Amino acid sequence: KNQVEQSPQSLIILEGKNCTLQCNYTVSPFSNLRWYKQDTGRGPVSLTIMTFSENTKSNGRYTATLDADTKQSSLHITASQLSDSASYICVVSAVTTDSWGKLQFGAGTQVVVTP
Amino acid sequence: DADVTQTPRNRITKTGKRIMLECSQTKGHDRMYWYRQDPGLGLRLIYYSFDVKDINKGEISDGYSVSRQAQAKFSLSLESAIPNQTALYFCATSGFGNEQFFGPGTRLTVL
């Protein structure tokens, strides 16, 4: 079973509207959580990173939240633009003895912004 | 110029053929990774390397091999390709900290 579950699988929103993506994880012990944006035909690009002690992080119109107690994160997109159409991937890192931090990837939420 | 490049970008091959996917990076990172991405699944780690002399298997290494020719180059080989290896393959690098920087991907189709 995947240790990182994302919902919804896909969503369609009108340009200018807001939306929220969800990520639930069971990865333990927790190190950090990143949200990546993956445009069609490209590799993922990091949007935000949050550690255990952080519960909100913003990057422009993207705001991520983290509740480490319930092991949930969300990514909120404000005033969506056509360029926000992409897959958004939640990636959780576990603490490991080699300090690498093994990554667990969610399957992603496909967002389509329509005019 | 892109920091992480992959060649080829697209490849169609037949069952049983040997295929090599190449990755180069100009970020100066020691750590490099190969992932595959399938529809509806998260990226899965095939192999990773922390330096030229260090190669480690990921969660789905069967049917794949890698070579770290230099700090900047990490190649993935399919010795005898099979149809269920049809996927999108990504190379990634990381330096201090665990942010990974991904290449543009190689779309591989095995007929």
How many other C-beta atoms are found inside a 10 Å radius of the C-beta of residue B43? 28
Q: Which residues of A touch B42 (CB under 8 A)?
A: 2, 4, 89, 104-108
Per-position pLDDT tens, chain B of length 111? 579 999 999 999 999 999 999 999 999 999 999 999 998 888 999 999 999 999 999 989 999 999 999 999 999 999 999 999 999 999 999 987 778 899 999 999 999
Report the pLDDT value the prediction gives residue A29, as an integer from 0 to 100.
86
B92: closest CA of chain A, how far (Å): 9
From chain B residues 53-82, the ones with a CB under 8 A of any chain A CB are: none
- Smallest CA–CA distance from B88 into chain A, residue: A41
Per-position pLDDT tens, chain A of length 115? 679 999 999 999 999 999 999 999 998 888 899 999 999 889 999 999 998 888 999 999 999 999 999 999 999 999 999 999 999 999 998 876 665 557 889 999 999 999 9
| Residue bearing tokens 């931090």 | A101
Report the pLDDT value the prediction gives residue A27, as an integer from 0 to 100.
86
Best mutation target, A105, A109, A110, to test chain B (most B CBs within 10 A): A105
Q: What is the DSSP letter of B85?
A: G
DSSP B44-76: EEEEEEEETTEEEE-TT-TT-EEEEEETTEEEE
Nearest to A32 by CA among A109, A107, A108, A101: A101
* B99 in contact with chain A, both atoms CB, cutoff 8 A: yes
Report the pLDDT value the prediction gives residue A30, as an integer from 0 to 100.
87
Tally of helices (H runs) and strands (E runs) in chain A: 0, 11
Report the pLDDT value the prediction gives residue A41, as an integer from 0 to 100.
85
Cβ(B94)–Cβ(B45) below 8 Å: no
Report the pLDDT value the prediction gives residue B41, as an integer from 0 to 100.
84
∠B39-A37-B75 over CA atoms, to 5°?
65
